[in-house]
Amino acid sequence: MDTESHYTAFVGRRRVAWGDLRTVLLSAKDRHDKGNHALMLVFEDRTGQQVDFDLSGSKEAVLARALPTRSGPGRPKLGVVSREVSLLPRHWEWLEQQPHGLSGALRRLVDEARKHAPLAEQARLAREAASKVMWSIAGDLPNFEEASRALFAHDRERFNALVQRWPSHVRDYVKERAAPSFLVPGSPRPRGAPRGDRARSRRS
């Protein structure tokens, strides 16, 4: 798991913890140790993916199971998935010359690509993240299906209106996740927004 990611935890319709993985884990562990075993849903904010953790044992044990540790410079031991990668010889040669080894170089390349992804790709990922969260914690709320359609239609105004009466913690979190999906140039204009030529004429 990526310790630089941010997470949010819900119990029912209430947001009970948010922050980096360590912060959310310790909050969940405290609730567990106090006998509060109500179902807690934890989401990775960027992807909307729901994640589960083993809260048994000491706090140190909980953190050790979930947080990456390092067996050497630049080599996380936990939270890493090994898969085969096929590259041309010139690619391997370049990677072998990079500091921190092949895996470290590949991780840096992927992270840089994620940071500079085109707006359309960022919007798509945000839309999918919001949709996952909505299905998990808002699927039985009023206007859920209509809000989902508005999300995928890039209709920010209608989306915000449809989720407005949802429980405040759910509404605010879903709107936070969905917000980047409405920022793509060329997406449908919000209802009532003036066209560019009309807006210019009003300013002149």
Would strands 14-20 and 6-11 be described as parallel, antiparallel, or unpaired? antiparallel
Q: Which residue has the higher pLDDT, 34 or 77?
A: 34
Of the candidate ranges 14-23, 96-105, 119-128, 153-162, the one whose mean pLDDT is the lowest? 96-105
Mean pLDDT of the chain: 81
Q: What is the pLDDT of residue 203?
A: 44
How large a percentage of the chain has pLDDT more than 70? 77
- Please list, residue by residue across 162-196, b when 16 or more beta carbons sit within 10 angstroms of its beta carbon and e when fewer do: bbeebbebbbebbbebbebbbebeebeeeeeeeee
Domains in the chain: boundaries: 6-66, 119-182
Q: What is the pLDDT of residue 81?
A: 57
> pLDDT tier at 99 (50, 70, 90 boundaries)?
confident
> pLDDT tier at 193 (50, 70, 90 boundaries)?
very low
How far apart, in Å, are the Cα atoms of 47 and each of 29, 41, 126, 132?
A: 23, 14, 7, 8
Total-model pTM = 0.68
Residue 17 has pLDDT above 70, yes or no: yes
Residue 117 has pLDDT above 90, yes or no: no
How large a percentage of the chain has pLDDT more than 90? 54
